[in-house]
A and B are shown apart, each in its own frame.
Chain A
Amino acid sequence: MICVQSEDFNLQVEYDKLRQQSNVGAVVTFSGLVRDCNLGKSVCALTLEHYPGMTEKALTEIVEQAKQRWDILACTVIHRVGKLALQDQIVFVGIASLHRQEAFACCEFMMDYLKTKAPFWKKECIKPGESYWVDARESDHQALFKWTEHLNNAE
């Protein structure tokens, strides 16, 4: 399931949906939150913009790629947009599989791809009336390399 929404989500509800099949032996979940500081600046709120239509398409593509790599039984991606306050939940990725290895790897893969391929943009508010667009991090792009290393080595 893929969902881009302004509403909050409930971890227990999402977890329970992932473990409905009786063959599920492992569920790995990740949630990303609004923290109060970034690169030495204090943050008081966050606004998330997206590209309606393309964002859902990009997330679907990431899920398809993940399913080709790992044998997963269920998968949920929820990403919020709009205005968020400190400690709010931003993103949820949950993976259900037979064994833990696939679920751990798949969840990390999905987050690494989401952070560099899905059209979302964060604007951080540092004090009332003052906000700036967050720059992309090189470390997020570096994180992709481990998933494409075997392709690079094959060349």
Chain B
Amino acid sequence: MIKVLFFASLRDQLGISELQLPCEANPDTNSLLDNLKAQDQHWSKALKQKQLMVAVNQTIATSNCLLQDGDEVAFFPPVTGG
């Protein structure tokens, strides 16, 4: 399984903070995002934002990243701390 997390405005838009997805053959962050967008129009719209950030196992992924069973993938908007 792959643990998927959503934070801040994205979590509010989707109405969910966490879900578990079965690990498909040769998964990567792009295919995971495509699968999530394919759920329905609402998900597609929320996940389409240009500046969406992705972290794999709590490290920012700047390009497509291969995944394996047990990985934690988080999607979130640009950070605004400080």
Contacts and interface: CB of A to CB of B under 8 A. Distances in A.
Interface of A: 32, 48-51, 53-54, 57-58, 79, 90-91, 111, 114-123, 133-137, 140
A111 B82 contact: yes
Interface size class of B (residues with CB under 8 A): 10 to 19
A51 B74 contact: yes
Contacts of B81: 48, 50, 79, 90-91, 114-115, 118-122
B82 A121 contact: no
Contacts of A114: 81-82
A136 B59 contact: no
Interface of B: 5, 7-9, 12, 51, 55, 58-60, 74, 76-82
B7 A117 contact: no
B77 A133 contact: yes
Given A54-B58, A57-B58, A118 B8 contact: no
Given A49-B7, A51-B5, A133-B8, A115 B79 contact: yes
Which of B12, B51, B77, B81 lies at the interface centre, i.e. has the most chain A CB atoms within 10 A of its CB? B81
A115 B81 CA distance: 5
Contacts of A119: 7, 55, 74, 76, 79, 81
Nearest to B58: A54
Interface of A is mostly: mixed
Nearest to B57: A54
B80 A90 contact: no
Given A49-B8, A51-B74, A133-B9, A118 B58 contact: no
Contact of B79 (A32, A111, A117): A117
A116 B79 contact: yes
Contacts of A32: 82
A117 B82 contact: no
A123 B10 CA distance: 13
Nearest to B7: A51
A140 B78 CA distance: 11
Nearest to B5: A51
Contacts of B58: 51, 53-54, 57
A115 B80 CA distance: 6
A1 to B, nearest CB: 18
